[in-house]
Structure 1
Amino acid sequence: MLKIASCPHCGGVIEEYCNPVPTVDVVIHEPGLGIVLVERKNPPSGWALPGGFVDCGETVEQAAVREAYEETGLHVELTGLLGVYSDPARDPRMHTLSVVFTGRTADPDALCAGDDAGAASFFPLESLPTPLAFDHARIIEDFRARLVGRR
């Protein structure tokens, strides 16, 4: 989307582009334990899948592995692509699009809250905390459907 603005220095016309910001999320699943969720320290509040913004110069895969480690202390192996979520209202701060991966860890006991996470824990899919941030309830429903072969 093209937006016209005025230059604060000369008053001239500036064309600004408003593009969605790329993010990643990871559904870290451990059979018998459930999925990893982190409690957000910063707004918007709630429980969320580990994830965050893609840094300039990194791939979405690199960002997913980095964000998972920063928020959970887990070294994650990505096992697949769950989907891309781009509803303009998915993040109340700005229009983001998230590339969502599935993943696993070799050491689930290493789980600990880090970075901007207040807490991190495994939750059984039948017993998730509330509220869930962003559109993560929808993402988790899609993951559930994949587990039972409906997606």
Structure 2
Amino acid sequence: MSLHHLQCPRCGEQIKCYRNPVPTVDIIIETSEGIVLIERKNEPKGLALPGGFVDYGETLEAAAVREALEETSLHVTNLRLLGCYSDPARDPRQHNISTVFAAEASGTPAAADDAASLAVFPLNALPSTLCFDHRKILDDYLRFRELSSSRS
């Protein structure tokens, strides 16, 4: 737990201030053509999985459904937990912890909200460079898919 102090502007008293990681979600949306990636409108710019911050009072699953719809215009269902990613350096803006879901989607992909554009990349042609740790997340997903299909 990170603790630092702020000073009250009125009385000068030291106030304890706790800094905690911020919860986020990312969604791997695989269509028949491949994986949906967005081009981020905001810094850090680049290609990324759709996702974002969890609102207060919102479940992780509801945040994933909302963020997918807001950024890709796709309605996602059948959320499956891939994992949680918590490296403090994974996001240059602050310490964010991401819960990552894989999902199925319906609708026509279209960029919206924080997405400047989007594209669907075939599994064998995923970009090598993505924002945050999203390339690592996709590599984990591909290994998971491979393991799942070899068990079937």
Classify the TM-score, shorter chain: over 0.9
Structure 2 unmatched ranges of 5 or more: none
Letter in structure 2 aligned against 1:91: D
The farther-off stretch of 84-93 and 2-11 is: 2-11
Q: Determine whether 1:91 maps to 2:95.
A: no
Q: Deviation digits for residues 40-59 of structure 1, max 9, x if unmatched?
A: 01100110000000001110
Q: Give the TM-score of the pair, scaled to structure 1.
A: 0.93
Secondary structure, counterpart of 1:26 in structure 2: strand
Q: CA deviation at 1:129?
A: 3.1
Letter in structure 2 aligned against 1:28: I
Q: How many Å separate the matches in 1 of 2:95 and 2:19?
A: 9
Contact (CA 8 Å) 1:46, 1:130: kept in 2 or not?
A: no
> What fraction of aligned residue pairs are identical, expressed as a percent?
54
Q: Give the TM-score of the pair, scaled to structure 2.
A: 0.92
RMSD: 1.2
For 1:7, the equivalent position in structure 2 comes to 8
Q: CA deviation at 1:130?
A: 5.4
Q: Equivalences for 1:71-150 in 2 at 5 Å?
A: 71-107=71-107, 110-129=108-127, 131-149=129-147
Q: Determine whether 1:59 maps to 2:59.
A: yes
Distance 1:130 1:141, change over 3 A: closer
Contact (CA 8 Å) 1:39, 1:47: kept in 2 or not?
A: yes
Q: CA deviation at 1:34?
A: 1.0
Q: CA deviation at 1:72?
A: 0.1
Q: CA deviation at 1:76?
A: 0.4
Structure 1 unmatched ranges of 5 or more: none
Contact (CA 8 Å) 1:26, 1:49: kept in 2 or not?
A: yes
